[in-house]
Structure 1
Amino acid sequence: MKIEIDSVELSFDNKKILYGVYLKTETGKVTGVLGRNGCGKTCLLRILFGDLKPKYKSVRLDGKYLKTNLFNTGKVAYLPQHQLLPNNLSLKKAFHLFQSDWKTFTAIFDSFKIYGNSKINEISSGELRVVETYLVLDSGKEIILLDEPFSFIAPLYVEKFKDIIREKKNVSAILITDHFYREILDVSDTIYLIKNGSSKLIQSQQDLENEGYISFNPQQT
């Protein structure tokens, strides 16, 4: 499956946020989106998902214009920045609702075995982020949107999720944004930088330096 979005025009209080964006992701590839705070990354994912309405947008699935919101198609799973699961829900119930296997999850993240009977409000925010990210990635949806999945979680978990993302891209088109640009560079097949309301295709870390997104450091490897 291939999904494309362009012709986006979004403004808040007469300030243009997005107005020159093109983005494409497809099954078999991870597409990363980078950009400074406030540049519109989260807005772009929400517009694509369908819960934020811009002045204009064009979304195409396999080249065909999508007349409804993407979330109405049943083809997408979305990890927002805000909390996804309700506090009074038990972890095992959450896995049941998402049709995801708790034992498979704890085989990868073994420190969570002690939380089998715990509720969402009984684990830390970082642990909750791990659970939510896993459930979205394990949803089996054809399109997966991840908004800052690496934030607030331990580096060991970041590496585990990068492995999961590489596996899941074989059956899903994955779009991911995060401030951890090295992780995005590592896990993504295609990268876009959102700057001044527009998107630009990024080929390397050098491109990010040239665009002023990161500073040049001769000691970087």
Structure 2
Amino acid sequence: MASQLEIDSVIKSYDDRTQILTDIYLKCETGDIIGMLGRNGSGKTTLMKILFGTLYAERKFIRIDGKVYDCPYKTNDVLCYLPQHEFLPKHLKIEKVVQLYLGQTSVESFFYDQTLNQLRKSKVGSLSGGELRYFEIKLLLSTDSKFVLLDEPFNGCSPVLIGSIMALIVEAPKTKGIILTDHDYRNVFDVANRYCLIFDGGIRWIKDKHELVRWGYVPATKS
């Protein structure tokens, strides 16, 4: 039976005046890869932080498998989050990070990966931006968390690494639900199996690229 994540009735304002999210409802089930689109400042990152539990909202209601959570990040194996910024200690070797996150028994299988095997003794701070992003994403997808939030996972990556990251996401176990954002809608449509657009503080579900034109997200000539 699929696990289910729901966030409902979200209201978030800044400066007590500007309401960025208005009565948002979003549901993600294990097996879903939801691509979330929206212009800069539309509230994509804000919604992810509220869902993770690290950002206050005037109103929110979060349920995972029917259980209500205020701060999901405080509960093991429920939800993990890839922020846009680096989040791993730069002084640690990546092999040590894997051990801390996944346990010693998972280290060898984690490095059955041509991209990472040659870097396993390297420190986090010595990795290039693209290498670090790939490592962070594989690490979070390898945890026991049922749901994973990926905020701009392709940012700063070469086309080759973007392809490798997409493969990681698509090959993630069907026991996970994934919500991701990206500024390039083409990346989102290449990897996700459901799509939504944050527009005027609400969520609009998108069936195809033509609907992005209808909502004014992309020009008609580039649809």
Shared fold, TM over 0.5: yes
Task: Tell me the secondary structure at the aligned position of residue 133 of structure 1.
Answer: helix
- Give me the whole-angstrom Cα distance separating, in 2, the residues matched to 1:182 and 1:9: 29
1:149-179 alpha-carbon deviations (Å, 9 max, x no partner):
1111121222222222122250111111111
> Match of 2:141?
137
- Give me the whole-angstrom Cα distance separating, in 2, the residues matched to 1:187 and 1:114: 27
1:50-79 alpha-carbon deviations (Å, 9 max, x no partner):
0001000111223x3514311122211111
1:96 paired residue among 95, 99, 102:
99
Report how many aligned residue pairs link the two structures.
217
Give the RMSD, CA atoms, in angstroms. Answer: 1.8
Q: Any runs of at least 4 consecutive aligned residues in structure 1 with deviations exceeding 6 A, and if so which?
A: none
Equivalent residues in 2 for 1:136-175, closer than 5 Å: 136-175=140-179
Identity, % of aligned positions: 36
The gaps in structure 2 that reach 5 residues or longer are none
Aligned-residue offset at 1:3 = 0.8
- Give me the whole-angstrom Cα distance separating, in 2, the residues matched to 1:191 and 1:210: 15
Aligned-residue offset at 1:112 = 3.7
The gaps in structure 1 that reach 5 residues or longer are none
Change in 2 beyond 3 A, CA 1:157/1:105: farther
- Give me the whole-angstrom Cα distance separating, in 2, the residues matched to 1:70 and 1:15: 26
TM-score of the superposed pair, with normalisation by structure 1? 0.91
- Give me the whole-angstrom Cα distance separating, in 1, the residues matched to 2:218 and 2:107: 39
> Match of 2:14?
12
Change in 2 beyond 3 A, CA 1:68/1:21: closer
Contact 2:212 2:218 survives alignment (8 Å): yes
TM-score of the superposed pair, with normalisation by structure 2? 0.90
- Give me the whole-angstrom Cα distance separating, in 2, the residues matched to 1:164 and 1:200: 27
Contact 2:130 2:161 survives alignment (8 Å): no
- Give me the whole-angstrom Cα distance separating, in 2, the residues matched to 1:9 and 1:184: 25
- Amino acid in structure 2 at the alignment position of 1:57: K
Aligned-residue offset at 1:84 = 1.2
Larger mean Cα displacement after TM superposition, 149-158 or 40-49: 149-158
- Amino acid in structure 2 at the alignment position of 1:176: L
